[in-house]
């Protein structure tokens, strides 16, 4: 199996189109045409992780955080990023990062966070915007079912928990072909008027090429009329953060001690206790200060995230319990999820969970 075949599996788990624009995800180092010898899954692809991959005969490292985040003008080994990249290249080891592609997935980082805390009734905290498009096309009634099914198979027509969604309306279509035409119905230079079905489906924007190929392949007409629109609708199943409910409410301190234990945190920084029971909990793995207002607006009693600055604790405004659980800690189970996902795909080589702890933050 080649590395590019494993990449296809990884992109099923975390489509690169789900990633934030600022991010650097996908294959960062290496040749996707190489034969895979094994996969090492880690949180950060540091130099010691590359050493571990060499020792365990893995030529693909799948990491959560991208080791290459901004551009490198020189690769001389002067810092930890350059040293890791140099060692990977020298030893023909590929590095693939998932980061916000998995952050934004409804089964990704924040769902894992929620599951560890035992939250129920979970939903996306900040649904992704500008991600949904709509296709409108027209065909003869005899061809409508074939076109719809082709579009559905290509990924169109999924709305929330429903698939194969479309709207169909009847109308009258007209056309007249010129000397170069080869009409399916009627003859050249003949004015044709007949029944048509208008088909409307929505789709995620990264599927557009696939959707159009399916349309052109299945449509009966020589020239296909279609329109594509950008929609303002938010995508309810893709986005950052999640919010859910505890099965049983907890006192504030009890909840923090519970979260500390479950997330294996060595310490939690938090805002003032405000004397309310914790039932509704928002989470966002990694740096999540930007979502404090979203957590408040969603009615959360507590918001767990990481990398909060001093003044950001004031933003709790005595409306919720704000807690910094640690960056690594908030994402710590992500690599386990990736390993489990790949193993379920029955790949014909080892998928190994890294034994290295790459958390750079230590506590006394």
- Give pLDDT tens digits along the chain (364 positions): 899 999 999 999 999 999 999 999 999 999 999 999 999 999 999 999 999 999 999 999 999 999 999 888 899 999 999 999 999 999 999 999 999 999 999 999 999 999 999 999 999 999 999 999 999 999 999 999 999 999 999 999 999 889 999 999 999 999 999 999 988 888 999 999 999 999 999 999 999 999 999 999 999 999 999 999 999 999 999 999 999 999 999 999 999 999 999 999 999 999 999 999 999 999 999 999 999 999 999 999 999 999 999 999 999 999 999 999 999 999 999 999 999 999 999 887 899 999 999 999 999 8
List the structure tokens of 289. 């200060």
Distance CA 153, CA 213 (A): 11
pLDDT for the residue numbered 221: 92
Q: Which residue has the tokens 């490198």?
A: 72
Q: Is 125 in contact with 291 (CB distance < 8 Å)?
A: yes
Q: What is the dihedral of CA 101, 33, 348, 48, to 10 degrees?
A: -60
List the structure tokens of 136. 């409108």
3-class SS letters over the chain: CEHHHHHHHHHHHCCHHHCCCCCCCEEEECCCCCECCCEEEEEECCHHHHHHHHHCCCCEEEEEECCCCCCCCCCCCCCHHHHHHHHHHHCCCEEEECHHHHHCECCCHHHHHHHHHCCEEEEEEEEECCCEEEEEEEECHHHHHHHHHHHHHCCCCCECCECCCCEEEEEEEEECCCCCCCCCCCCCCCCEEEEEEEEEEEEEHHHHHHHHHHHHHHCCCCCCCEEEEECCCCEEEEEEEEEEEEEEEECHHHHHHHHHHHCCCCCCEECCCCCCCEEEEEEEEEECHHHHHHHHHCCCCEEEEECCCHHHHHHHCCCCEEEECCHHHHHCCHHHHHHHHHHHCCCCCCEEECCCCCCCCCCC
- Whole-model pTM? 0.89
Q: Is 67 in contact with 28 (CB distance < 8 Å)?
A: yes
Q: Is 296 in contact with 319 (CB distance < 8 Å)?
A: yes
Strand partners, 239: 127
């Amino acid at each position: 199996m080649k590395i590019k075949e494993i990449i296809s599996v990884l992109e099923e788990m975390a489509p690169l189109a789900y990633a934030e624009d600022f991010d650097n995800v996908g294959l960062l180092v290496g040749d996707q045409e190489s034969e895979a010898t094994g996969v090492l899954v880690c949180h950060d692809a540091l130099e010691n992780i590359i050493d571990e991959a060499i020792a365990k005969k893995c030529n693909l490292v799948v990491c959560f955080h991208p080791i290459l985040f901004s551009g490198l003008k020189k690769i001389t080994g002067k810092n930890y990023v350059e040293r890791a990249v140099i060692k990977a290249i020298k030893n023909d080891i590929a590095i693939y990062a998932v980061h916000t592609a998995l952050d934004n997935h409804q089964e990704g980082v924040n769902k894992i966070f929620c599951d560890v805390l035992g939250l129920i009734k979970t939903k996306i905290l900040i649904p992704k915007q500008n991600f949904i498009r709509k296709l409108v096309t027209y065909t003869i009634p005899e061809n409508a079912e074939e076109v719809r099914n082709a579009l559905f198979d290509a990924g169109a027509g999924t709305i929330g928990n429903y698939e194969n969604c479309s709207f169909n309306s009847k109308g009258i279509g007209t056309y007249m072909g010129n000397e170069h035409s080869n009409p399916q119905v009627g003859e050249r230079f003949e004015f044709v008027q007949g029944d048509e079905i208008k088909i409307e489906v929505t789709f995620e924007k990264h599927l557009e090429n696939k959707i159009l190929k399916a349309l052109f392949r299945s449509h009966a007409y020589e020239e296909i009329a279609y329109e594509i629109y950008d929609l303002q609708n938010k995508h309810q199943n893709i986005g950052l953060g999640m919010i859910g409910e505890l099965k049983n409410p907890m006192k504030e301190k009890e909840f923090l001690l519970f979260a500390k234990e479950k997330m294996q945190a060595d310490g939690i920084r938090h805002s003032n206790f405000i004397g309310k029971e914790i039932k509704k909990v928002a989470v966002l793995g990694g740096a999540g200060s930007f979502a404090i207002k979203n957590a408040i607006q969603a009615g959360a009693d507590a918001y767990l995230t990481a990398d909060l600055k001093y003044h950001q604790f004031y933003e709790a405004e005595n409306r919720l319990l704000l807690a910094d659980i640690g960056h690594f800690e908030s994402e710590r189970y992500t690599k386990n999820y990736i390993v489990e996902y790949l193993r379920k795909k029955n790949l014909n080589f080892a998928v190994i969970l890294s034994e290295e702890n790459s958390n750079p933050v230590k506590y006394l």
